[in-house]
Chain A
């Protein structure tokens, strides 16, 4: 009983924490408190096996899963205080109170009869007793929980797992392909030269020059080529710059955003 009176307020407060915690992580921790306390109550009520399972499965696995997902979706996310659905909180509270009070008064306070206790049932040990039931009376349900677990696994796979649709390319694959292309189409296997190499400018629109001085078109981004903005390496650059400045002035005087 002491255990109970010690734990009960803690559990209720923790449960309320679930209601009021702004951050999801805090809620998760509150829940963990409740779960662990429950485990202790189980133990106190003659269910040592469940005590273990509660700790292992619930607190250990399920809570961890929750936390994983919380991390995944962003641990910092917190709810706005404002309730979006009008009346939701009010009604929830009222109905909750009605429901809770009704049941507590009608059911919680009227459990009658002698508490038989588990002495006899746990005669051969709690796990044994459970096993007897699990593999006897409830064997079918037990078996079909496997269907549940398979479904869960399958579900997680379906919803969360992205199967690779194409085989991953290894470095060897890529190298082989590059050489093959070179052989077939003559495409250069190496990296393309960067613009401006050997040229007088190293701007991106200035093609690199081959050793013989001819410009190398491939060195420029295709989009620039497309737009026809490739600068020829042989023009008189100074004149071009002067011209450009003049044009700029002209444009400024025409006003902002004038046509080119």
Chain B
């Protein structure tokens, strides 16, 4: 069991670091997806640990939510791209201090 959770945590951490170091909004978003996937792995593993399917249901919900989120996120990114011709998150820094 431990190894699954450990893997999940490693993936999660890698995803989190990815969010911090990548500048392309789409890649940043992919990193978030990676984190979601890592979470799903945890859900599924815990589901097996506890012997109930709630975790799997949760993973299923996460997938649906992720789908919706991706749509919204990508459309926001696209609309910004149309305006700025850039997908770098660093360029969007007018609002500050």
Contact = CB atoms under 8 A, between A and B. Distances in A.
Interface stretch (A108-116, A172-180, A197-205, A219-227): A108-116
Given A73-B26, A116-B50, A153-B71, A148 B5 contact: no
A160 B80 CA distance: 10
B7 A11 contact: yes
Given A18-B31, A19-B17, A24-B27, A45 B4 contact: yes
B90 A108 contact: no
B13 A159 contact: no
Grouping DSSP codes into helix (H, G, I), strand (E, B) and loop, the B interface class, with mixed when no group exceeds half, is: helix
Interface residues of A, number: 87
Interface residues of B, number: 68
A100 B52 contact: no
Contacts of A2: none
Contact of B11 (A12, A121, A122, A141): A12
A183 interface: no
Contacts of B44: 41-42, 45, 47, 50
A138 interface: yes
Contacts of A126: 53, 56
Given A8-B7, A96-B17, A133 B34 contact: no
Contacts of A158: 75
A70 interface: yes
Contacts of A119: 51
- A18, A72, A130: residue with the most chain B Cβ atoms closer than 10 Å: A18
B92 interface: no
A165 to B, nearest CB: 18
B90 to A, nearest CB: 5
A61 B67 contact: yes
Instruction: Give me the 3 closest cross-chain CB pairs, A-B, nearest first.
Output: A116-B51, A100-B13, A92-B20
